[in-house]
A and B are shown apart, each in its own frame.
Chain A
């Protein structure tokens, strides 16, 4: 394992320290925690607080999206491990200005349980808390017999949506309604070229041969749905779009937002090559995105690969929310 670190056990606190010291204009650490909160406190006055977070290793998610117009605070757990309830609870308290706090949770059993315990703690303090559990990864079939679909890169679009609504003064109930309405219209699918190495583990989470790829891998190296020989960017675009098409039923009369997300080790050069093929593929379906982002938003440490998120903007306001200005490190 080659990594620029001091010791595997110190990665998270040192990363948070570096982040808040590099960007004091946006974020600061909540004392005694691995959570960061907006440094522009007055931007939270009279607004519903938005808290997200999860295991570390997905940077810039989640602290990179903290700032006016997006998240109020983000809680960082150990690498690929949910943060603990006490830390989430501190974040909730730090951002509550009286109108309640909305939690954006990715659908992993650990995250769901820890955020759930933190909500219980906040309720004891009479802080109203509501939440959305994001499950945009269509690689996993929804079933009673599994944990269900995972929360992946589409979560960042959810952050943007609820963050913009909160900044414009929406109530906790309105934000919950918005999140519930938007969620089924956000679909993500990934392809991995190599696995991530968790610093404390020291070796990759799975093995892929030099000429192999795997479709549908999760952001913690969870297994995907198919392995095969490496394909061209053009063929990858076809596969990923057709998979999402089966879910969202792409329609040339609809407006779509697109997020091409690098998983950590894939250069932007390749992400733009893929975007070229993706836009061609969408054009054959007469679809021209109304909004698009390309880059590293929800990474998986040093995994090579990309994910594609398509968001069907069935409500006109959603595009305005995506375009709403923010003051963050990474949006």
Chain B
């Protein structure tokens, strides 16, 4: 069950991971992107925290929508609309279900639709798809998420700026997959699957 309390805790944990790993994420983005993923996510999560601070006792829909709008308006690039769409889909559907497997699945569909990417394209979807599959079988773990993010190293990029490199993108982790790894790890740490 995803609750407003869990989302609040989840976002605080995600913010602190992004702050710690900001330079690393931008470094991952340099050889296969444009070197700003850490900075963009940091700006976005600062925006999320600022917006959440202004809410008092929000319900689940309000908090998810607030996260979505902050990400959409602060991150920019490709990551902003993709993460923003994910949270917007969860906000739109959270009155029908609060089950993580179902909400994350709807979020994943939103990401696929917005970005036009699919599994194996070396994007955040390569973490989201196995994470959703694991949630559906109650087997999501930090190890599985780490392995999924690490798996992007061997893939050839087919979407976004990294796709211009073709075969030369092999050997590099996808930065969006790594920030997604932090997102799911934070979710577990916040008690999202308990």
A contact set with B: CB distance below 8 Å: 55, 77-87, 108-110, 113-114, 116-117, 140, 145-147, 150, 198, 200-201, 205, 218, 220-223
Q: Please name 16 further chain A to chain B contacts, defined as beta carbons within 8 Å, in addition to the given A114-B76, A146-B164, sorted by A numbering.
A: A55-B77, A77-B77, A78-B39, A81-B76, A83-B76, A84-B76, A85-B81, A109-B78, A109-B159, A147-B161, A198-B35, A201-B39, A205-B34, A222-B34, A222-B161, A222-B164
The residue in chain A whose Cβ has the minimal distance to the Cβ of B166 is A146
| Minimal beta-carbon separation of B93 from chain A (angstroms) | 18
Query: Are B72 and A85 closer than 8 Å at their CB atoms?
Result: yes
Given A109-B159, A117-B81: A80 and B36 interface contact (C-beta under 8 Å): yes
Interface string of B58-78 (1 = CB under 8 A from A): 000000000000001111111
Query: Are A200 and B39 closer than 8 Å at their CB atoms?
Result: yes
Bound-complex Cα distance A260 to B43 (A)? 36
| Minimal beta-carbon separation of A213 from chain B (angstroms) | 18
| Minimal beta-carbon separation of B53 from chain A (angstroms) | 20
B contact set with A: CB distance below 8 Å: 26, 30, 34-36, 39-40, 43, 72-82, 84-85, 114-115, 158-161, 163-166, 168
CB-CB < 8 A to B43: which residues of A?
78
Query: Are B72 and A86 closer than 8 Å at their CB atoms?
Result: yes
CB-CB < 8 A to A205: which residues of B?
30, 34-35
Bound-complex Cα distance A79 to B75 (A)? 12
Given A85-B81, A220-B161: A109 and B115 interface contact (C-beta under 8 Å): yes
Select A201's contact among B30, B73, B76, beta carbons within 8 Å: B30
Given A81-B40, A113-B78, A114-B81: A201 and B165 interface contact (C-beta under 8 Å): no
Tell me the interface secondary structure of chain B in the complex.
Answer: helix
CB-CB < 8 A to B26: which residues of A?
200-201
| Minimal beta-carbon separation of B38 from chain A (angstroms) | 9
Query: Are A223 and B165 closer than 8 Å at their CB atoms?
Result: yes
CB-CB < 8 A to A85: which residues of B?
72-73, 81
CB-CB < 8 A to A113: which residues of B?
78, 81-82, 114-115
Q: Which 4 A-B pairs have the closest CB atoms?
A: A146-B163, A113-B81, A110-B78, A110-B77
| Minimal beta-carbon separation of B90 from chain A (angstroms) | 17
CB-CB < 8 A to A108: which residues of B?
78, 161
